[in-house]
Amino acid sequence: MSRISTDQVRHVAHLARLAMTEEETVAYTEQLDKMISFAELLNELDTDHVEPTSHVLDMKNVLREDKANKGLPQEEVLKNAPEHQDGYIKVPSIIE
Amino acid sequence: MVSLFDYKVSELHQLLHKKELTVTDLVSESYKRIGEVEDKVQAFLTIDEERAREAAKKMDEKIGTDEAKGLLFGMPIGVKDNIVTKGLRTTSASKILENFDPIYDATVASKLHNAETITIGKLNMDEFAMGSSNENSGFQVTRNPWNLERVPGGSSGGSAASVAAGEVLFSLGSDTGGSIRQPASYCGVVGLKPTYGRVSRFGLIAFASSLDQIGPITRTVEDNAYLLQAISGVDPMDSTSANVEVPSYAENLTGDVKGLRIAVPKEYLAEGVDEEVRKSVLDALKVLEKLGATWEEVSLPHSKYALATYYLLSSSEASANLARFDGVRYGYRTADPESLIDLYKKTRAEGFGDEVKRRIMLGTFALSSGYYDAYYKKAQKVRTLIKQDFENVFDKYDVIIGPTAPTPAFKIGENTSDPLTMYANDILTIPVNLAGVPGISVPCGFADGLPLGLQIIGKHFDESTVYRVAHAFEQATEFHKQKPGL
């Protein structure tokens, strides 16, 4: 049984903000299906009473003094922007 | 062929001190060698000769004066291209960052400045560190200096190949699932993944934030210890860097392993591991036994689940980390987008390579509504079991030893058709990242003229013991003295 459909792959590609051709959609469906089946190996294990690990070190709430530091100069920050004007980064219009 | 890089940092420093050598000589050695072999090896994405020569000149003026000198004064280094370097193009081997000119230094880059290394250039890798062969680089495929038809390993393939080829004295790599140790093994050099939190990740272009660590690749264990010394320590810019004392690593290289208790997981010598690899590890254990260590077989019972756990977690984290590459603030942007969302989608589709997209897709799926518990959370729980496996063994043993990789370097193109076969190369290194413990690869033999690596794994923040064992083994063997016949 297939674990993921082309429709689901289309949906995931939209969530991931990746444009995808029909051909790619079909190829990714096949590859993801393989990877997901492989990942289902984990279902052999009973993990009902196991706590998840998101981070290996026993540390939380790393705080620092609430002190303002100087940021990077605007000119520098805009240096790598594909398009900018008057100190702003330009993108296609969002409101019609 | 004789090279200045056959000497260790400590020896080069003596030569500099006695004025038998200049920093300019060292930098010239790098660029001369690059001129000789780089068209074959293709380890570099960017070469920074002008600035390196200028820096060398300035440093030479300091020789013979009382001016304080850095820990790695004058030593030529290569830096993996996912570590941002101010004013020096940094691409992460991705088309999406092809012309990216960083406006700040990664913490490790600042620390290298303080230690007074000289950056020779930026090194090739798999795009965004996703891969085990450098075949996923958006720009070029680095070759293994021992055999140009073979991969150098990955993702820090350029970092390992440049050191093995004598283009730099040493380099920095990064390791998320084996990306320092596996290429070190394939290229016959020494590579360490430090404990998670030992080295700041600020300025490391993130792949999987809970697994990534920057670490040193060198010709010798001693130099590895020096380079780690220079880059270790807590950093206010990385809240996951650990506030733990940094010991003097080189001081602990005593050569003494008497009474050392070694655990050898049976899963690390099981089916899928080449006979020659297995034999080289058993021979290495004999060497360590002769030096007074003892070893016993143990089990890390959840090893077989590590690969699936890793791909779910690392891809999930990657899908979030790589969301920043959207064509807005920096990097590549598609031409003539119809709308903002079209800009995002086309920029990413055109800018990312195939493997990166595949992992973003898997990660986005594993984190998506309805699948989060079944895949992502499940993998986080299995990660706990894998971590506990290591804790149980480290209750009774000082180090864990096994091979670094199940085979020597494979042929270019051999594993590209099926992602899952490619992933299997990392089966012995991935559990170490999931547990967050340190691991090193040191040369331990050859199979058909290709280097093999011994993996030594230690307790959290116990790089000192890992180095001590690696050094004792290195000093008792001759493998590290061999060089590729380029």
Interhelix angle A6-15/A22-39, rounded to 10 degrees, is: 100
- Inter-chain CB proximity A32 and B305 less than 8 Å: no
Per DSSP, the three-state class of B399 is: strand
pLDDT at position B478, please? 97
Hey, which residues 31-70 in chain A have their CB within 8 Å of chain B? 31-32, 34-36, 38-39, 41-45, 47, 50-57, 59, 62, 64
Interface check for A85 against chain B (CB to CB < 8 A): the answer is no
Identify which of B343, B380, B420 has the shortest CB distance to residue A92: B343
Residue A89 pLDDT greater than 70, yes or no:
yes
Interface check for B332 against chain A (CB to CB < 8 A): the answer is yes
CB within 8 Å of B38: residues ≥ 6 apart: B44, B167
Q: Which residues of A touch B354 (CB under 8 A)?
A: none
Searching chain A, which residue's CA lies closest to the CA of residue B234? A62
Q: How far apart are CA B178 and CA B424, in angstroms?
A: 11
- Residue positions counted in chain B: 486
Beta bridge partners of B453: B443
Per DSSP, the three-state class of B378 is: helix
Q: Which residues of A touch B331 (CB under 8 A)?
A: 80, 82
Is B185 annotated in the active site? Answer: no
Interface check for A95 against chain B (CB to CB < 8 A): the answer is no
- B277 vs chain A: nearest CA distance in angstroms? 26
Q: How far apart are CA B462 and CA B281, in angstroms?
A: 22
Residue A96 pLDDT greater than 80, yes or no:
no
Residue A1 pLDDT greater than 70, yes or no:
no
Q: What is the pLDDT along chain B (486 residues), one digit of tens a residue?
A: 689 999 999 999 999 999 999 999 999 999 999 999 999 999 999 999 999 999 999 999 999 999 999 999 999 999 999 999 999 999 999 999 999 999 999 999 999 999 999 999 999 999 999 999 999 999 999 999 999 999 999 999 999 999 999 999 999 999 999 999 999 999 999 999 999 999 999 999 999 999 999 999 999 999 999 999 999 999 999 999 999 999 999 999 999 999 999 999 999 999 889 999 999 999 999 999 999 999 999 999 999 999 999 999 999 999 999 999 999 999 999 999 999 999 999 999 999 999 999 999 999 999 999 999 999 999 999 999 999 999 999 999 999 999 999 999 999 999 888 777 778 889 999 999 999 999 999 999 999 999 999 999 999 999 999 999 999 999 999 999 999 998
Contact status, residue B448 vs residue B274, Cβ threshold 8 Å:
no
- Inter-chain CB proximity B384 and A56 less than 8 Å: no
What's the pLDDT tens digit per position in B229-280?
Answer: 999 999 999 999 999 999 999 999 999 999 999 999 999 999 889 999 999 9
The token duo for B420 is: 């899952």
Per DSSP, the three-state class of B93 is: coil
- A50 vs chain B: nearest CA distance in angstroms? 6
Q: Of the residues B30, B80, B162, B185, which is catalytic?
A: B80
Q: Which residues of A touch B358 (CB under 8 A)?
A: 28, 31-32, 35
- Inter-chain CB proximity A80 and B361 less than 8 Å: no
Is B155 annotated in the active site? Answer: yes
Q: Which residues of A touch B361 (CB under 8 A)?
A: 9, 12-13, 16, 18, 28, 32
- Inter-chain CB proximity A18 and B302 less than 8 Å: no
What's the pLDDT tens digit per position in B27-73?
Answer: 999 999 999 999 999 999 999 999 999 999 999 999 999 999 999 99
Interface check for A16 against chain B (CB to CB < 8 A): the answer is yes
Looking at chain B, the whole-number percentage of residues with pLDDT higher than 90 is 96
Q: Which residues of A touch B305 (CB under 8 A)?
A: 41-42, 44-45
**The pTM of the whole model exceeds 0.90:** yes
CA distances from B257 to A77, B261, B391 (A): 52, 9, 21
Q: Which residues of A touch B424 (CB under 8 A)?
A: none
- Inter-chain CB proximity B387 and A39 less than 8 Å: no
Searching chain A, which residue's CA lies closest to the CA of residue B344? A17
Q: Which residues of A touch B103 (CB under 8 A)?
A: 72, 76-77, 79-80
Per DSSP, the three-state class of B282 is: helix
pLDDT at position A16, please? 98
Identify which of A35, A51, A89 has the shortest CB distance to residue B362: A35
Q: What is the mean pLDDT of residues A2-30?
A: 96
Q: Of the residues B94, B110, B159, B179, which is catalytic?
A: B179
- Inter-chain CB proximity A16 and B100 less than 8 Å: no
Searching chain B, which residue's CA lies closest to the CA of residue A14? B345
Identify which of A42, A54, A79 has the shortest CB distance to residue B309: A42
Minimal CA–CA distance to B210: which of B376, B372, B354?
Answer: B376
pLDDT at position B271, please? 83
Tell me the count of A-B CB pairs closer than 8 A: 158
Beta bridge partners of B445: B452
Contact status, residue B138 vs residue B97, Cβ threshold 8 Å:
no
pLDDT at position A48, please? 96
- Inter-chain CB proximity B329 and A80 less than 8 Å: yes
Interface check for B372 against chain A (CB to CB < 8 A): the answer is no
Minimal CA–CA distance to B31: which of B19, B44, B20, B15?
Answer: B44
pLDDT at position B200, please? 98
Beta bridge partners of B442: B454
Q: Of the residues B110, B137, B155, B156, which is catalytic?
A: B155
Q: DSSP secondary structure string, B419-460?
A: HHHHHGGGTTTHHHHHHT--EEEEEEEEETTEEEEEEEE--T
Interface check for B373 against chain A (CB to CB < 8 A): the answer is no
